Amino acid sequence: MARIIVCIATCNRPQGLRRTLHSIAALETAHQIEVLIADNDAARAEGMGVVERLAAQGYRWPIKALLVAERGIPVVRNRLVAEALARPGATHVAMLDDDEAASPGWIDALVDTAMRWNADVVGGAVAREMDARVAHWAARHPLLQAKRRGNSGPVALVDSTANVLMTAQALHQMGERPFDERMALTGGSDKQLFSRMARKGFRFAWSEEALVTELIPASRVTAKWLLMRGYRLGMTDMMVERFHKGRLRTLLIEAPRIAAGFLVGTLGAAATFDRGKRVVRLGKLYRAIGKIAGIAGFRYEEYRKVHGA
């Protein structure tokens, strides 16, 4: 039996957090579960209020909320990891986002995959649910599709804490602040950590059965958001690569992909009247520009704005 600390970072999403916590209360598992929430909104502390109300109503699992005043996703995650690893007997730390709901078999699927393939880190599938009707052109966009790999098993890397299980032993070896706080509001600190773990020889696996469902707000189903998400992903990918390889080597490796992105994003976008295809192709241009920005050291702080409620 594992002892798992489920960690959730939250900021200005009380409705989403409530949905997430209700899903965790409905888990079908014999493992020992404890839930930690870190609220990154010191002004309103709405997440703290959600947790206090659920605890007063007799929440199924031991639950605790922390208030983290300094803004930044890796700052919050580092506080969660420190608190989780301080729990006596903790074997694993699981993370999901405050806009996600776990399926009943979520935690058992993650643990089973970790045991079957002796993995230190296990990522899981993410389905998408829209909170409003989506235009036909947007519904086909890759960033709005489910995150699946088809099969469970060993993988070279997972890149997100949106649905992940990590062994406490592996996290202990990554230092007191495993998430890079220089990436406070840019995103990408999770991929940064997992890239470092891969270089240290830790093993990764994927669980197709460990499903969570992300609720996509209407504010993220716009051409502007989709294009800027592509830009941000290109930028943070290069921030991670620069960390490991340096600026010049990263530029030399990425130059052909950047050139291809410019070609597809300009000529390809101009060659179609289909809005959906045009936005996807323009996204390759934005991602290429984001890569240049990341290599050059520019920062776009996507997470200054919170989407959802």
pLDDT in tens, 102-128: 999 999 999 999 999 999 999 999 999
Do 102 and 20 form a contact (C-beta atoms < 8 A)? Answer: yes
3-class SS of residue 308: coil
Question: Is residue 161 within 8 Å of residue 197, measured between CB atoms?
Answer: no
- pLDDT at residue number 119: 98
Confidence category of residue 306, pLDDT binned at 50, 70, 90: confident
Please give the C-alpha separations between residue 10 and each of 47, 102, 142, 245, in angstroms, as whole numbers: 7, 16, 25, 32
The closest of 161, 183, 182, 164 to 232, measured between CA atoms, is 183
pLDDT, tens only, 36-73: 999 999 999 999 999 999 999 999 999 999 999 999 99
Judging by DSSP bridges, how do beta strands 92-96 and 204-216 pair with one another? Answer: unpaired
Sort 257 into a burial class: Cβ within 10 Å, 0-12 / 13-18 / 19+.
middle
pTM greater than the 0.75 cutoff = yes
Average pLDDT over residues 253-260: 97
**Mind listing the pLDDT tens digit for each residue in 271-296?**
999 999 999 999 999 999 999 999 99
pLDDT tens digits, residue range 67-103?
999 999 999 999 999 999 999 999 999 999 999 999 9
Q: What is the pLDDT of residue 308?
A: 82
